Amino acid sequence: MPQAATRFINPNVLARISSLELLSRGVVEGFIAGLHRSPYKGFSVDFMEYRPYTPGDDLQRVDWKLYARTDRTYVKEFQGETNTRLHLVLDISGSMDYTSHEITKRTYCFYLAASLAYLMIRQRDAVGLTLFDDSIRTSVPPRSSKGHLHTLLTHLEEAEPGAETAFEKPLHEIAERQHRRGFVVILSDLLSDPDTLVDGLRHFRFNGHNVLVFHVLDPQEVAFEYADIVEFEDLETGERLLVEAERAGQLYRENFERFQARLRKECALLGVDYALLKTDQPLDHALFNYLSSRARQRT
């Protein structure tokens, strides 16, 4: 990946950009520019070709500049699926506000969601959005118009911090609402009962959706490099726990590995793609995961 593009997508750099639209455009354009120069051209989504105009084609798709040069009418045709419906499902519970560096998990998810939405709308896919904690807080049905991107980003920017995470109710509700098959991307720290998460995912799969789970975590939630005696306070419940960090860290890491292993296993059994994202990773990691997941599931 070219260094310039990678640097631009770095989350800590993005945190300085206040406009989500600008941010998402920058991320995606940089990402695509990187793709054009990279050996991963197979993932390109905006590849186009021309075919002669036939009656019934949308006049908006006629390349008028080409017509001016050649005196012939050609229609731009995109290689990507024009009818893909992407539904972004974002966890905005209290635990998503945790950070050990510059940006919280919630912010990181917003960046990622905005970038995915921009990417999809750029290729005329329909993108929907649902924000949830223990219930659905905001839900925007999928659209593919350019103005829809603005709607999505406005909802992201105006989202309030939520309460506790609970997958059972919101996931089932979302699955019920999505009647047409599509691509569901869940962005969450998944710090809740894994059984309810698996039930929700099963519901999506039952409805014929392709599902990609982004397990978004802060680096400290993975490494747990605290020292001395620490009293941890749960961001969602306010519960406190006094631990000797070095001793507790060892146990934490073991528990986390078991937790993640189970999630991977359950997702694999359901045919759901699972990707762990740390908030210090560049966003292009996530975009890659998304595109490769889509390509895999399309085949």
Partner 1 sequence: MSFITPLFLFGAATVLLPVLFHFVRRMKARRVPFSSLMLLKATPKELVKRRRLRDLLLLAVRAAMLLLLTFAFARPFIPQDSIPFVADRQEQSVAILVDLSYSMQVSGVFEQARNALVDRIDAASDGDELSLIRFSDAARQLTPLSDDHALHRSVVSGLSPGYGTTDFHTPLRLALDILQDARHDDRVVVLISDFQRNGFSGSFENFDLGPEIDFIPVKITKDDLRNTYMEAFELSTRRTGDAVALRLDARIESQGQDVHTEQVVDLNMEGELAAQRTVSGTPSSPVTFRQTASRMGFFQGSLSLGEDDLAADNRYYFTVHVTDRPSILAVDRGPDRRDAFFLASAFALGEDAHFSFETGDLQRAAIRDPDIVIVANFASCTEAEIATLLRVARRGGSVILSFGDQTSPQAWSAALQKLGIGTSDRVVTPRASQGSDAIIGQVEERHPVFDAIASGGGILRPVFRRYLRVEPDSGASVLATYDTGDPLLLERRVGQGTVLVYTTSFSTQWTDFALHELYLPFLYQMALYAYSPSGAQHNYAVGAPVPLRGRVGEEWDVQAPDGNVFRVVVDSSGTGFFRETGIPGHYAAARARETFFFSVNVDPRESLLETRNEEEAYAAIAARDDEVATVPEEAALLVRDEEKEQKLWRVVIIVLLVLFVVESHLASRTMQRSNPTAA
Does 248 interact with partner 1 (rule: CB under 8 A)?
A: yes
Interface with partner 1 (CB under 8 A), residue from 22, 241, 268, 295: 241
Q: What are phi and psi of 275, to 5 degrees?
A: -140, 130
Calpha distance 87→272 (Å, rounded) = 15
Q: Which is nearer to partner 1, 66 or 166 (CB)?
A: 166
Q: Which is nearer to partner 1, 81 or 199 (CB)?
A: 199
| Residues 151-190: x where in contact with partner 1 by CB under 8 A, - otherwise, as a string | --------------------------------------x-
Does 262 interact with partner 1 (rule: CB under 8 A)?
A: no
Instruction: Let me know how long the chain is.
Output: 299
Compute the least distance from the CB of residue 44 to partner 1, in Å.
Answer: 36
Compute, in degrees rounded to 10, the torsion defined by CA atoms 26, 28, 30, 34: 180
Interface with partner 1 (CB under 8 A), residue from 236, 266, 273, 284: 236
Q: Return the amino acid letter for 206.
A: F
What are the beta bridge partners of residue 86?
A: 127, 183
Q: Which is nearer to partner 1, 21 or 164 (CB)?
A: 164
85-91/183-188 β-pairing:
parallel
Cross-sheet strand order for the sheet of 126-132: 136-143, 126-132, 85-91, 183-188, 210-217, 273-278
Footprint of partner 1 on residues 86-105 (CB under 8 A)? 95-96, 98, 105
Does 247 interact with partner 1 (rule: CB under 8 A)?
A: yes
